[in-house]
Structure 1
Amino acid sequence: MEIIGGARLEVHIKPTDVGKRVSVRCLNDGGIGAEKFTDTVGVLTSWNDGVLLITRRTGESVRIVESSLVAGKVVPTRHPTTTPQGGASRHVTMAPARRRGPATSFDELARVTARGWQPVESETLGEWRLRASSGFTRRANSVLPLGDPGRPLDEALSYVRDWYAARELPAYIQTATGAEGGQELLCADLERRGWVREVSAQVWVGGLAPVGDLDADVDQVRLSRSYDDAWLRRYQRFGTPGPHVTAVLGSGPSVWFASVPAAGEAPAAIGRCVVDGRWAGFLAVEVDPAHRRRGLATAVMAALGRRALDEGASAAWLQVEDDNTSARALYDGMGFAAHHSYHHYRAPE
Structure 2
Amino acid sequence: MEISAAGRLEVRVTPGDVGKRVSVRRLADPGAPGAKFTDTVGVLTSWDDGVLVITRKDGEVVRVPESSLVAGKVIPAAPARRRGPAASYEELARVTARAWRPVESERLGEWELRAAAEPVPRDGTAPGSSAPERPQEAAAGRRAGFTRRANSVLALGDPGMPLDEALAAVRRWYGERGLPAYVQAATGAEGTQEALCAQLEARGWVREVTAELWVGALAPVADRAEGDEVVLSRTADAGWLARYRRTGPGEVALRVLGSGPSVWFASVPGGGRHAPPAAIGRCVVDGRWAGFAAVEVAPEQRRRGLATAVMAALARRALEEGASAAWLQVETDNAAARRLYAGMGFAVHHAYHHYREPGAGRQGSP
- SS of the residue corresponding to residue 12 of structure 1 reads coil
User: Aligned pair in 2 of structure 1 residues 34, 106: CA closer, same or farther (>3 Å)?
Assistant: farther
Cα distance in 1 for residues equivalent to 2:33 and 2:254: 56
User: Aligned pair in 2 of structure 1 residues 13, 137: CA closer, same or farther (>3 Å)?
Assistant: same
Matched, 1:214 2:224: yes
Give CA-to-partner distance per residue, 1:85-106, whole Å, 9 cap, x none: xxxxxxxxx72xxxx2101000
- SS of the residue corresponding to residue 220 of structure 1 reads coil
Matched, 1:253 2:261: yes
Give CA-to-partner distance per residue, 1:219-268, whole Å, 9 cap, x none: 51111111101111111315x42210111000011110001111353211
Any residues of structure 2 matched to 1:1-349 within 5 Å, and which? 7-29=7-29, 36-78=36-78, 80=80, 95=82, 100-134=83-117, 135-217=145-227, 219-238=228-247, 240-263=248-271, 265-349=275-359
User: Aligned pair in 2 of structure 1 residues 5, 18: CA closer, same or farther (>3 Å)?
Assistant: farther
Cα distance in 1 for residues equivalent to 2:225 and 2:100: 29
Figure out how many residues of one structure are paired with residues of the other and give that number: 329
Shift, 1:77, TM fit = 2.1
Cα distance in 2 for residues equivalent to 1:261 and 1:31: 66
Gaps of 5+ in 1: 81-93
User: Aligned pair in 2 of structure 1 residues 35, 116: CA closer, same or farther (>3 Å)?
Assistant: farther
Gaps of 5+ in 2: 118-144, 360-366
Is the 2:30–2:68 contact (alpha carbons within 8 Å) kept by the matching residues of 1? no
Is the 2:205–2:358 contact (alpha carbons within 8 Å) kept by the matching residues of 1? yes
Structure 1 residue identity aligned to 2:246: R
Is the 2:20–2:77 contact (alpha carbons within 8 Å) kept by the matching residues of 1? no
Cα distance in 2 for residues equivalent to 1:115 and 1:26: 43
**Identity between Structure 1 and Structure 2 (%):** 71
In structure 2, the residue matched to 1:91 is none
Give CA-to-partner distance per residue, 1:54-87, whole Å, 9 cap, x none: 000000011111111111111112364xxxxxxx
When normalised by structure 2's length, the TM-score is 0.86
Structure 2 residue identity aligned to 1:114: A
User: Aligned pair in 2 of structure 1 residues 69, 257: CA closer, same or farther (>3 Å)?
Assistant: same
When normalised by structure 1's length, the TM-score is 0.90
Cα distance in 1 for residues equivalent to 2:26 and 2:229: 56
CA RMSD of superposed structures (Å):
2.1
Shift, 1:327, TM fit = 0.2
